[in-house]
Structure 1
Amino acid sequence: MGKSVVDIFPRSEAVPKQFQLSNPTEQREYLLNGQLVIWKGVLAPVTSPIFLCDETGEEHQVVLGSAPQLDAEAAHEALHSAVSAYDKGRGLWPTMRVSERIDRVEQFLVRMREQRGEVVNLLMWEIGKSLKDAQKEFDRTCDYIVETVDALKELDRASSRFELKEGVLGQIRRVPLGVALCMGPYNYPLNETFTTLIPALIMGNTVVFKPAKLGVLLLRPLLAAFRDSFPAGVINVIYGRGQDTVSPLMASGNVDIFAFIGTHKVANTLKKLHPRPHRLRSVLGLDAKNPAVVLQNANLDIAVEEAVTGALSFNGQRCTALKLFFVHQRIVEDFLERLSARIGSLRPGMPWDEGVGLTPLPEPGKIEYLQQLLSDALEKGAKVINPNGGDSNHSFFYPAIVSPVTPEMRLFREEQFGPLIPVVPYESLHDVIEHITCSDYGQQLSIFGEDPSEVGRLVDACVNQVARININTQCQRGPDSYPFTGRKDSAEGTLSVADALRAFSIRSVVATRFTKSNKHLVKQIIEGRESKFLSTDYLL
């Protein structure tokens, strides 16, 4: 084992003062009907992927605190609060003017920005995200909220006019759907959660929000901001095991929108619990096994650099990560050599270390799972290409380039969601296309090559198999104005700043025959501001 892996965890006194934590946090409050309610039941421990050495050199996992482990009764209270606040579409929030809802969201953003330092620090300690990436996630989330407000203003401006078609005068606006259940992933517990939560709220839906299984405490600093920015019952935050909380909520039939980022197996199980599935709008970001195809004429300097960031940003714990590399047989040795050298330049360490490129993994059991995938591949003929590849220490796993990977290996099929880089040498592009076509997943694909004929042919062969093709660059979500979705088992619905607003709403029309009396009536309603729906207001 490499010395850097053995000595990866520091002594307690080596933690920079500005990032040190106080005593473990016992969180008992959760947000219910506009109040921070104290939970008197069982608490779930919250641990960090970071271990610290004591004076004897022994390494101990850091205990960050505890969070409420609500039961089904508490979860139903939260759902009842959201249902009551929506009041079948007649509640204060769903009938509020768009400009007023925007004001509330902007108030929340001001309060949220005040908590940047604490949230960023908890992102590092709870999920092992580097300081730079934690700051980026927080700031990108704030930017997303601003962009969402701008997109809604633009959408509302387009809806502020009337249309006259075939003698019928009408106004078409988007209105909320009902009660949304929002659940985000642990790898982006702030950003990806808010890409569904904020659009759901701003379009007038009420929300029950359950944080990810990891990254729980980092949302605590925002609870008061939610409470103070939105009317009672509009947003309710629950904690606990999904089987105890989420399953009963779905089975109740009172959830109108299911916004979930996780595995397709969990999504399928939860959706089946809903007694009226035709009334459930689903917005799902699910599994992905994004391939990269490195053609024989590829610029290897570009391909290798994009491979490293694509496969190992946040240790490969991204749905958009590159998870399977098809490399042409003629260049595979050169590619592996360069990739190995580039990985060797990455700095392992703690999230606050300057220039750190590899950090501990937060998910319990993850190291054992990665070792199982690696052992299976080695038993079936693959080799670890890079020095120290696969070495581990507690929650830290050093990246391993594994080649040649074949379809018989688990690593070829399963989404590793971690720092394993499977490389499949190929001769015939037909075989690669066949795999992409037959794959259960269809989120994204990266193509690396310089021959326009070959790249163009591969684009045409795959554009109906995946939702996004990236040429000479890694797979990625951004920019947020681009649609983010997937085919097959990878997604349901489409997210982008504008698409999310549509995903959490439905178009509604008010129409009348274009007669003199009706025209006069509509004009009086608008001029007297007798309706919040019928309006020609232009949002600035």
Structure 2
Amino acid sequence: MTVTAEREKALLESVPKGLLIDGEWREASSDTTFDVKDPATGEVLASLQDGGSDDAMAAFDAACAAQKDWARTPAKERADILRRAYDMINERAEDFALLMTLEMGKPLAEARGEVTYGNGFLRWFSEEAVRHYGRTVNGPEGTLRMQVNHKPVGPCLLITPWNFPLAMATRKVGPAVAAGCTMVLKAAKLTPLTTQLFAQVMQEAGLPKGVLNVVSGSSASAISGPILEDPRLRKVSFTGSTPVGVKLMQDAAKNVLRTSMELGGNAPLIVFEDADLDAAVEGAFAAKMRNMGEACTAANRFLVHEDVAEEFTKKFVARLEALKPLRGTDPDSTLGPIVDEGARDDIHALVTEAVEAGGEVLTGGDKVEGPGYFYQPTALKVDKDNPILKQEIFGPVAPIVTFSTEEEAIEMANDTEYGLASYIFSKDYTRMYRVSEQIEFGLVGYNAGVISNPAAPFGGVKQSGLGREGGAEGIEEYTTVQYIGIADPYAGK
């Protein structure tokens, strides 16, 4: 489907530009705005109200005021709201896909995939809302009946990144709504438009006022700072860089807040000598190039057995060279831009440093001239001490390094402070279990380059964060456990 300028303009005009506070779209107290740009052109797409500290506290006051009634709302009602929102997003899937392409840059085909994935969290948690079981058991001594209940944790602060504008919002809002929590949602300033449209849909689906409040702005700290200091806050959930996550955890410690932190990654992709190389190339391509490599789960280090490295590299480079870096609305686009100029400069600096340290550029290796912030799909041949292997690249750059033994591959994979995603390619199932037992990562893909799913627990270890989003575990992050010891009337009889 061809996207016209008129279609883009009409969609952008339909998106709310204000702050959602207590069920109403308002102007910022500062009466200022900030711009959202198209990374494929550098042009301004829209101007939004620039929320600040006063707006954040107004939104948080609304969330606190709504918490008591919302927690008492029957689970089925919460589930019905989520399911209606799911259906409404399905009906407007093309709007959401186009909006993400405009503000974030990913090709429309990928944006449509994110709509399916992100919206899946609403459906999943609509089902989990009514299945959040407690338990009742007899005490070992026979004197007590022990009842365990799950209760909403309370008002939450949710902070989402720019790279998956819909999925990162639904992955946090879905379980919060299902569990009975109210919230303030702070979207990334680079890609807030999708969040604005999502919040509007949640309203239309029947979410009561004050349950979901949205404050976008140019200063993240101005919004999160005062809320984190308020003793009424009970949880903060953040997806983003490890340094920012560490700072948020330090702030959260003052009030002993529940935290969910999905932070940085440095994913190894290991290709063993017995791998199906064609499948490994396709899996590696998906793990690296999804979202232009701008994903915390993106393959960041390609560890390839020396016996198959030449063949794998040749086929993988050919896949990269077939990509077409174009604006995401172009039907021929298979690679979108980097989100902004600064991020593209950071990527190029990593490539330059890798080459200076002895790395060899196999393809790409430079910025794409012209409008927007495109970067060439790049493959590098490096030694295992190259500095690029220590960095999260967050772009379409694949460093390839060889290994000789399984033990060496495991050692290289674990040589990072991060522990989010990892990938193993081998025909040997016993090797899959053996290696996954020894590598220090929260997610393992076996002969698969894309493994994220709303029904699966997503999260990492070490400096990649704590807590899990999605799966049966996802709703647990938004609840507290209460135990009631009940005297057994039949004890001793």
TM-score greater than 0.5 by the shorter chain: yes
AA of the residue aligned to 1:242: A
Aligned to 1:63: 44
Aligned to 1:209: 185
User: Which among 15, 19, 24 is matched to residue 35 of structure 1?
Assistant: 24
Whole-angstrom CA distance in 1 between matches of 2:12 and 2:469? 37
Shift of residue 403, structure 1, vs aligned partner: 0.7
AA of the residue aligned to 1:260: F
Q: Structure 1 residues 243 and 337 mapped into 2: Cα distance closer, same or farther (>3 Å)?
A: same
Q: Structure 1 residues 249 and 323 mapped into 2: Cα distance closer, same or farther (>3 Å)?
A: same
Q: Structure 1 residues 434 and 119 mapped into 2: Cα distance closer, same or farther (>3 Å)?
A: same
Is 1:44 paired with 2:34?
yes
Is residue 311–residue 321 contact of structure 1 (8 Å, CA) maintained in 2? yes
Alignment of 1:111-150 (within 5 A): 111-150=88-127
Is residue 82–residue 179 contact of structure 1 (8 Å, CA) maintained in 2? yes
Alignment of 1:26-425 (within 5 A): 28-39=17-28, 41-51=31-41, 61-86=42-67, 91-155=68-132, 158-159=133-134, 163-165=137-139, 166-169=142-145, 171-228=147-204, 229-240=206-217, 241-274=219-252, 276-277=254-255, 279-354=256-331, 356-386=333-363, 388-393=364-369, 394-409=372-387, 411-425=388-402
Q: Structure 1 residues 122 and 163 mapped into 2: Cα distance closer, same or farther (>3 Å)?
A: same
Whole-angstrom CA distance in 2 between matches of 1:64 and 1:231? 30
Shift of residue 253, structure 1, vs aligned partner: 3.5
Indicate the SS of the match to 1:392.
Answer: coil
1:436-489 CA distances to partner (integer Å, 9 max, x unpaired)? 334101112212223566555433432xx11232222225322x2222221101
Is residue 32–residue 237 contact of structure 1 (8 Å, CA) maintained in 2? yes
User: Which among 8, 17, 22 is matched to residue 20 of structure 1?
Assistant: 8
Indicate the SS of the match to 1:124.
Answer: helix
1:181-223 CA distances to partner (integer Å, 9 max, x unpaired)? 1111211111122111111122111101111232212233334
Aligned to 1:520: none
Aligned to 1:525: none
AA of the residue aligned to 1:514: D
Shift of residue 123, structure 1, vs aligned partner: 0.7
Whole-angstrom CA distance in 2 between matches of 1:162 and 1:467? 31
1:70-94 CA distances to partner (integer Å, 9 max, x unpaired)? 12111111112212222xxxx2111
Whole-angstrom CA distance in 2 between matches of 1:435 and 1:355? 38
Name which one, 1 or 2, has greater alpha-carbon Rg: 1
Aligned length: 481
AA of the residue aligned to 2:192: V
AA of the residue aligned to 2:28: W
AA of the residue aligned to 2:9: L
Is 1:471 paired with 2:461?
no
Q: Structure 1 residues 221 and 458 mapped into 2: Cα distance closer, same or farther (>3 Å)?
A: closer
1:492-525 CA distances to partner (integer Å, 9 max, x unpaired)? 1122231111111122244532338xxxxxxxxx
Structure 1: 5+ residue stretches without partners? 1-13, 52-60, 517-540
Q: Structure 1 residues 389 and 234 mapped into 2: Cα distance closer, same or farther (>3 Å)?
A: same
Whole-angstrom CA distance in 2 between matches of 1:70 and 1:112? 26
Q: Structure 1 residues 328 and 204 mapped into 2: Cα distance closer, same or farther (>3 Å)?
A: same
Shift of residue 402, structure 1, vs aligned partner: 0.6
Aligned to 1:512: 486
The percentage of aligned residue pairs carrying the same residue is 23
Q: CA RMSD in A?
A: 2.4
Is residue 287–residue 298 contact of structure 2 (8 Å, CA) maintained in 1? yes
Is residue 79–residue 127 contact of structure 2 (8 Å, CA) maintained in 1? no
Structure 2: 5+ residue stretches without partners? none
Is residue 247–residue 270 contact of structure 1 (8 Å, CA) maintained in 2? no
Shift of residue 142, structure 1, vs aligned partner: 2.7
- TM-score, normalised with respect to structure 1: 0.83
Q: Structure 1 residues 174 and 398 mapped into 2: Cα distance closer, same or farther (>3 Å)?
A: same
Whole-angstrom CA distance in 2 between matches of 1:29 and 1:405? 50
